[in-house]
Amino acid sequence: MTLRVLSLASEAFPLVKTGGLADVAGALPDAVGPAGIEMTVMLPGYPVVMKGLKRAKLLHHYADLLGHEARLLRGKIGVHPLVVLDAPGLFDRDGGAYGDQNGRDWADNWLRFAAFAKAGAELAAGVVGGGKPFDVLHAHDWQAAMAPAYLRFLHGDKGVAPKSVMTIHNIAFQGQFARTIFPKLGLPPAAWAMDGVEYYGDVGFLKAGLEAADAITTVSPTYAREIRTPGFGMGLEGLIVAKSDRVTGIVNGIDPAIWNPAHDPALAKTFTVRTLARRVANKRAVEQAFGLEPGDGPLFIVISRLTWQKGMDVLAATLDHLVASGGRLALLGSGDAALENAFHQAAARHPGRVAVRIGYDEPLSHLMQGGGDAILVPSRFEPCGLTQLYALAYGCVPVVARTGGLADTVIDANVAALAAGTATGIQFDGLTLDSLSLAISRTVRLYHQPERWGAIQQCGMKSDFSWTHSGRAYADLYARLCSPA
Ligand code: ADP
């Protein structure tokens, strides 16, 4: 029997992307398809999404969706069904998905994503859109998290409501808003409760979704354990512990149609695990793109949001050591102004050795993975992380903090792993100046042992991070939820 799943996300590649969530939401329909799941993706109608919507069909017209006129439109994302919430008053504006051109969050984000979630719940329940109810509603992160809550409080008594899955891609972003918004959410008074939407006296979107969902997933087994503790749970650890019987960790996969060095149009030269020598053309192209001088040491790369979570403050402080060790760095990213500044200063101190590109550049990120020797991912916490997975596929050795998905996907080149030929990267414990500097030194030493280095690259390229296993894990979860107890 085919199960129908409505996947609600605030971004999905290739239509709109600010981070890993988009890659995952974009890849899931293909990932679960082979297991008999028909997934429909639902997105907010930002201008970029509306532009990408071809031959859309009207599913429903809302005269008043939480105070705004809106339409549900049906189109396609790749070959899969897509539903877009076209609500110009909420989504048709210049700027990003979550904030204005200066990076300030939209003041009405609570309303934008409450409306999105409410429409998603109504579509999933078959209340709008004229179709049958979906079997499962799958909500991603706080922006979609009110959907399970709407299902529970508005449609829970209608017999077989869809089952709901709440996936945490990053528990640091919780969608917490002043309690004054509660009356405007269109929920019954009973929803204002400790096990409802109330969160330390405010309204908590992610909290409400976690309370309401039939299953909770996060994007790696280690992160699923970490978020039970105060250091990682960020206030939600008690809830996660209380619901631990329904929490699982499923590692993200990578989409081989988009991330494959054998067929990547963004590379100067494509390559496979058997033609690693061809990578040098990409390395030269990266050096040229960044204005770096050639050198004997490794070319480190960083592709990241420049934030505290990603450990970028500590990285900026280790760059003198990185250069002194013979390394060079090409960094692509954007984020906190102070961190952007710190990297600009490092580049000014080390011209030709450290170069920084502030901005978002998808093709350049592919070229860097195909030409860099090692990627630095010194995150303080990392639910799954995708850049280290792309690096593994592209023969770029990941140097990562041992946390979350980084711990689950990289095998440290310790003596035993080197001897067994299973090492795929370098890990270090606890982000400090010393631990990261040591990891950089270890990387440089290994790089100068070409046989070992080549073995690490090859082992990484051969590891399987396709969606096969994880797609099946999600499909099994949907099937379990829908099978009669
Ligand atoms: P997060 O979602 O926390 O930002 P992930 O590692 O899970 O981190 O995913 C980040 C995604 O965004 C990857 O696909 C990465 O290649 C991409 N990315 C991050 N910064 C940039 C950038 N400046 N330019 C291009 N791609 C970027």
Q: Which DSSP letter does residue 1 get?
A: -
Quick check: helix, strand or coil at residue 466? Answer: coil
Joined tokens for residue 482: 């829908």
Give Cβ neighbours of residue 323 (< 8 Å, ≥ 6 apart). 329, 350, 353, 354
- Find out whether the beta carbon of 386 lies less than 6 Å from any atom of ligand 1: yes
Q: What is the Cα–Cα distance from 130 to 128, expressed in whole angstroms?
A: 6
Q: Which of 23, 142, 310 maximizes ligand 1 atoms within 8 Å of its Cβ, making it the mutation to test the pocket? A: 23
**Ligand 1: which atom is nearest the Cα of residue 390?**
16
- Give the number of other Cβ atoms within 10 Å of residue 340's Cβ: 18
Q: What is the Cα–Cα distance from 256 to 20, expressed in whole angstroms?
A: 15
Residue 378 CA to ligand 1 center (angstroms) comes to 14
- Find out whether the beta carbon of 14 lies less than 6 Å from any atom of ligand 1: no
Q: Which of 386, 410, 470 maximizes ligand 1 atoms within 8 Å of its Cβ, making it the mutation to test the pocket? A: 386
Contact 328, 371 (CB under 8 A): no
3-state percent breakdown (helix, strand, coil) of the chain, nearest 5: 45, 20, 35
Q: What is the Cα–Cα distance from 373 to 401, expressed in whole angstroms?
A: 17
Domain at 276-463, CATH homologous superfamily = Glycogen Phosphorylase B; (3.40.50.2000)
**Ligand 1: which atom is nearest the Cα of residue 21?**
2
Joined tokens for residue 177: 């808003």
The domain locations on the chain are 3-253+468-482, 276-463
Contact 152, 175 (CB under 8 A): no
β-strand 176-177 against 198-199: which pairing, if any? unpaired
Q: What is the Cα–Cα distance from 410 to 298, expressed in whole angstroms?
A: 19
Q: What is the dihedral of CA 266, 268, 272, 277, to 10 degrees?
A: -150
pLDDT at 485: 67
pLDDT at 156: 81
Quick check: helix, strand or coil at residue 178? Answer: coil
Which residue spans within 200-289 are E strands per DSSP? 202-204, 215-218, 247-249
- Find out whether the beta carbon of 19 lies less than 6 Å from any atom of ligand 1: yes
- Find out whether the beta carbon of 332 lies less than 6 Å from any atom of ligand 1: yes
- Find out whether the beta carbon of 303 lies less than 6 Å from any atom of ligand 1: yes
Q: What is the Cα–Cα distance from 343 to 345, expressed in whole angstroms?
A: 5
How many CA within 13 A on the CB side of residue 72? 27
Residue 388 CA to ligand 1 center (angstroms) comes to 10
List per-block mean pLDDT (blocks of 10 residues) for the chain, which spans 485 residues: 95 94 95 97 98 95 98 97 98 95 94 98 95 96 98 81 95 97 98 97 98 97 97 97 97 92 98 98 98 96 97 98 98 96 98 97 98 98 97 98 98 97 97 98 98 98 93 97 85
CATH 3.40.1190.20 fits 3-253+468-482, yes or no: no
**Ligand 1: which atom is nearest the Cα of residue 388?**
6
- Find out whether the beta carbon of 217 lies less than 6 Å from any atom of ligand 1: no
Indicate the burial class of 277 (C-beta count within 10 angstroms; 0-12, 13-18, 19 or more): exposed
- Find out whether the beta carbon of 304 lies less than 6 Å from any atom of ligand 1: yes
